[in-house]
């Protein structure tokens, strides 16, 4: 466990568990939590023993979005711009490019920037009573923290626009139907199931899993020929890996591979 003030960082079975720990504010994002989340994900990225990450919230909420009390007084337009750029761009970029699978264990409401944070993760597991809420329009704001980027890729334009402007809670069942979560779990089993999934992924060939994440992100912004060429470049890295040799040997020997993440 590392020394953070607004989150708890633990490692178990090659999996980093990052728990936002401001339950009295439903884990709303303030300057301190934003900085510590960035540091925690940097720590997980740098630790070779960590091969998967789970992000969740303490208490009964995942993340209520930006803590509006952080403004103190209403910021100027220029100050608001700087806050959004400085607080969210480094964190969301890091999560989406981290070369390890990241699972969001959504244990309650994720609202506003909390939705962005949940969808920045590669995979989502929601408690049966959890929900997502694009609350920006309810205070006459535009979605930020990358919400537009995540939503339009998950939902397509029509549903993304509907969710963004109506500002209503989207239930776990609806999220599953729309593709905003991969799984739903009973609330009391959520963390157990998310960790078990992460630990299974941690046994996979970590280099290939991380490069697959990179390839899919690249493919979303490029044509087919460019995607194939990029895949070929990435395969040059995997073919030289220990896990590739182990995977081929295990296949030939008709046994389960023992991947080391290298």
Q: List the chain domain ranges.
A: 7-201, 206-252
Say if residue 70's pLDDT is above 70: no
DSSP 210-235: HHHHHHHHHHTTS-HHHHHHHHHHHH
* CATH number at 206-252: 1.10.12
pLDDT tens, position by position, 157-199? 999 999 999 999 999 999 999 999 999 999 999 999 999 999 9
Partnered with residue 111 across adjacent β-strands are: 133
Check if 7-201 and 206-252 are the same fold: no
Q: Is 100 in contact with 209 (CB distance < 8 Å)?
A: yes
The phi, psi pair for 10, rounded to 5°, reads: -135, 155
Average pLDDT over the chain, rounded to whole?
Answer: 94
Two structure tokens written together for 231:
């895949």
State the fold for domain 7-201. 2-enoyl-CoA Hydratase; Chain A, domain 1 (3.90.226)
Instruction: Give the gyration radius of the chain's Cα atoms.
Output: 19
């Amino acid at each position: 466990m590392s020394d953070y003030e607004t989150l708890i960082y633990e490692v178990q079975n090659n999996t980093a568990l990052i728990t936002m720990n401001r339950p009295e504010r439903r884990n709303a994002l303030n300057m301190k939590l934003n900085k510590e989340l960035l540091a925690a994900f940097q720590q997980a990225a740098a630790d070779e023993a960590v091969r998967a990450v789970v992000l969740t919230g303490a208490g009964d909420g995942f993340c209520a979005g930006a803590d509006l009390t952080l403004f103190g007084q209403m910021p100027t337009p220029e100050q608001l711009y700087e806050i959004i750029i400085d607080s969210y761009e480094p964190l969301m970029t890091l999560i989406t490019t981290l070369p390890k699978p990241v699972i969001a264990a959504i244990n309650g409401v994720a609202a506003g920037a909390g939705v962005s944070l949940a969808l920045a993760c590669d995979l989502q597991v929601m408690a049966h009573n959890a929900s997502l809420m694009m609350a920006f329009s309810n205070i006459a704001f535009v979605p930020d923290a990358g919400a537009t980027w995540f939503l339009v890729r998950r939902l397509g334009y029509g549903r993304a626009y509907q969710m963004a402007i109506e500002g209503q809670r989207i239930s776990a069942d609806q999220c599953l139907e729309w593709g905003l979560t991969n799984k739903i779990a009973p609330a009391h089993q959520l963390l157990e199931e998310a960790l078990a999934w992460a630990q299974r992924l941690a046994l996979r060939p970590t280099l290939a899993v991380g490069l697959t994440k990179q390839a899919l992100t690249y493919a979303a912004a490029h044509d087919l020929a460019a995607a194939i060429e990029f895949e070929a470049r990435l395969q040059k890295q995997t073919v030289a890996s220990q896990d590739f040799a182990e995977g081929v040997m295990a296949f030939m020997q008709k046994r389960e591979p023992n991947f080391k993440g290298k």
